[in-house]
Structures are given as C-alpha cells and as structure tokens.
Amino acid sequence: MDFEFRFDIVWNNMSLLLEGVQTTILLSLLTMILGTIIGLFVAIVRLRARKIFALPLIIYVEVFRGTPGLIQIVWIYYCLPIVTGLQLDALTSLVIAMALNVGSYLSEVFRAGIQGVNKGHIEAAAALGFKPGQITRRVVVPQAAYRMIPAIGNVFVSAIKLSSLCSVLGMSELMYQGQIIIANFFRPIEVFTVVAIIYLIMAYTTSLFMMYLEWKLAWIKREKVSFWEKFKQISQSAFQIKPQGDV
C-alpha cells in the first residue's frame, strides 16, 4: 500500500493542539474538584442518613454510572433548559455533566474506602475517649485515604478521557482542535495518533502523581527507599512474566 505519513502537518499546527490541551486540563481539573466534592457528600450522606433520605442519591449514582457520558452531556446542555428554563453556556453544562458523572463513581470509591476501615480501630479510639470528629480525622481518614488513592486515580484518568466528548458542543478542547486540523488537511491517522499520545501523556502523568501521593501518604511502615526506586520496583513487577505452571 502506497501511503506516506505526514506528521509535519501536525507539527506545523501544534499550536492548535496546545490550545486544546489547555482547555482539556481546565475541564479536567474543574471536573476532578467538583466531582470529589459531590462524591464525598454523596458517600457521607449514604453512610449516615436513613435509607429514605439516601434513596435519591442512590438513584443519582445508578443513573450516572449506568448511562453513557455523551448522553449526559447532551441532555444537560439541551434538555435541562427546556425542563427548568435555566440557560447554561457550553462550559458550565460540560463541567456540571462531567462532575456529576465523576462524582457518581467517586462516591462509591469513598463509601467503600470508609466502610473498609477496621471497626475495631474505631471502637478502640472511642474507648480511649476520642470524639467523633477526632475519630474521623485521626483514624478513619488516614486509613481510608491510603486505600482509596489508586481507585481515585483511575477515576481521574477517566475524567481526562471523558473530556474528549466535549467536542460535541463545540468546546475547543484537544479532540475538537484535532478535528479542525483533520477537516483542513484530511490527515486523520497522523492527527489522531498525536492526539492519542498527548492524552496518554496527561493520563500517565496523573497516574504517576497519584502513585507518588500513595507512596507519600502510606500509613504503613515502608522501606527506606526513594519514590523512583519504588516506582522502578513496581514497574518491573508489573511487566514481569511469571510462569503459570508446568506446560
């Protein structure tokens, strides 16, 4: 097959992609912050409130976890003004939709992390005279946070990839800028390849940061090794092929 790759076209229009990266980072950060707040609120209410009060939140979690993100974005942007009469710009609609989506997943992460704390530790703290706030701050949060970090990192990476759907509303994020270059030069393979690499860099950077945070906040006793040495050990073990038995 006679095909010539023209990555120089992408390089000459890299400024467009970099503008899209800025918008993607902004959308992702807003989504992560608001999604974390929503998820934490939902998790606490579901754990503390009676079932009758938690029922609307359970429905919210199941709906947003069980429906495609694209439909959620389109529904909030086009249907919410029809139902409520409230007009929202594209950025606000996208942030709301993405935050609600991410918050539904994070609420389950937070709820599972809190419930995973050993009840004996909580009872021991209460026996020592700790107040409920102190138990939460000094016993529950340190243990739960350490366990939840990997799952939170996965949700944050998904939020970055979810931002690619924002192009349907004309938001000039990375995917939308890539589509503009494709429309002008008709080189989808090269453009999508570079766009995918940029998404991979952002996602892997987020994963690396969450891995560092997990190492930094570890409450268990760890070996006196640097983060990069520990990262090297984890990488080697992840890619190591172990025998599954005699063939």
Query: Would the pLDDT of 224 be above 80?
Result: no
Query: Would the pLDDT of 221 be above 50?
Result: no
pLDDT of 204-220, one tens digit each? 999 999 988 888 776 55
Burial of 130 (0-12, 13-18, 19+ CB in 10 A): middle
pLDDT of 130-158, one tens digit each? 888 888 888 887 888 888 999 999 999 99
Query: Would the pLDDT of 226 be above 80?
Result: no
With contact defined as beta carbons under 8 Å apart, do 86 and 80 qualify? yes
**Mean pLDDT of the 78-105 span:** 92
CA angle (123 as vertex; 142, 215 as ends), nearest 5: 15
Task: Please report, rounded to a whole number, the percentage of residues in the chain having pLDDT higher than 90.
Answer: 58
Query: Would the pLDDT of 66 be above 90?
Result: yes
C-alpha–C-alpha distance, residues 14 and 190, integer Å = 12
pLDDT of 155-175, one tens digit each? 999 999 999 999 999 899 999
Burial of 144 (0-12, 13-18, 19+ CB in 10 A): buried
Q: Mean pLDDT, the chain, as a whole number?
A: 87
Which residues lie below 8 Å from residue 107, measured CB to CB, with a gap of 6+? 38, 39, 40, 42, 43, 46, 57, 61
